[in-house]
Amino acid sequence: MAKTVMIVDDSASLRQVVGIALRGAGYEVIEGCDGKDALSKLNGQKVHLVISDVNMPNMDGITFVKNLKQIPAYKFTPVIMLTTESQEGKKQEGQAAGARAWVVKPFQPAQMLAAVSKLVMP
């Protein structure tokens, strides 16, 4: 059974490209355009990995991960956060929220794929 990955980012094009890369590798992908949207879309659905941007409107990435980890079904779900070099402080906040993996923006699709497959095999 294919593993499901959720990508949460306010950029539709980023979601699209990551989606193409992950689907090509055999993952199923669901998208969320911000934290709020992602939480409502998940709604108890099984996901194996969540990729989330930090900076988003409505609900930012850190708050989103904090909320996500409160839901028992997603307690053990690995999270990859997307950061920029200038967000060292955010990294600590993210770690406190429960995220362990980081990918620095901007990245190439292959880099994202490598990071994902370290955590979840398709």
Partner 1 sequence: MELDQALQTFIVESRELLEAMEESLLGLESSPDDHDAINAIFRAAHTIKGSGGLFGLDGIVAFTHVVENVLDRVRSGEVPINGDLIALLLSCRDYIGMLVDQIAADSAAQPDKETEATGIMLLNQLRTYQAGEKKQSPISATAQSQPRMAVVPPPDGTVESDHWHISLRFGHDVLRNGMDPLAFIRYLDNMGKIIHVVTLPDAMPLAPDMDPESCYLGFEIDFHGDGVDKTTIEGVFEFVRDDCTLRILPPHSRIEEYTRLINELPEDKIHLGELLVNSGSLTRKELDEALHLQQILRAEYSQEAAPKLGDILVEQRVVQPELVDAALGKQKLAKENKAQESKLIRIQADKLDQLINLVGEMVIAGAATSLLAQRTCDPALHEATSTLSRLVEEIRDSALQLRMVQIGETFNRFNRVVRDVSKDLGKDIGLSICGAETELDKSVVEKIGDPLMHLVRNSMDHGIEKAEVRRQRGKPAKGTVHLNAYHESGSIVVEVGDDGGGLNREKIFAKALEKGLITASQNLSDVEVYGLIFEAWFSTAEQVTNLSGRGVGMDVVRRNIEALRGTVEIDSREGIGTTVKIRLPLTLAIIDGFLMGVGSASYVVPLDMVMECIELDEAERRESRESNYINLRGTVLPFIRLRDHFRERSKVSRRENIVVVQYAGQKAGLVVDELMGEFQTVIKPLGKLFGNLKGISGSTILGSGEVALILDVPALIQRAASRDAQLLACSQAEQIVA
Hey, what are 108's tokens? Answer: 């190439």
Q: Is 118 in the site for partner 1 (CB under 8 A)?
A: yes
Contact 116, 51 (CB under 8 A): yes
Of the candidate residues 2, 71, 96, 121, the single one contacting partner 1 (CB under 8 A)? 121
Query: What φ, ψ does residue 75 adopt, rounded to 5°?
Result: -55, -40
Task: List the one residue out of 2, 1, 69, 3 whose CA is nearest residue 35.
Answer: 69
CB of 81 to partner 1, least distance (A): 11
Of the candidate residues 40, 43, 44, 76, the single one contacting partner 1 (CB under 8 A)? 76
Site for partner 1 in 29-58 (CB under 8 A): 53, 55-57
Chain mean position to CA 109: 14
Q: Which residues contact 69 (CB under 8 A, 6 or more apart)?
A: 75, 97, 98
Q: Is 120 in the site for partner 1 (CB under 8 A)?
A: yes
Which stretches of the chain bind partner 1, using CB under 8 A?
9-14, 16-18, 20, 53, 55-57, 75-79, 82, 84-86, 98, 100-102, 104-111, 113-115, 117-121
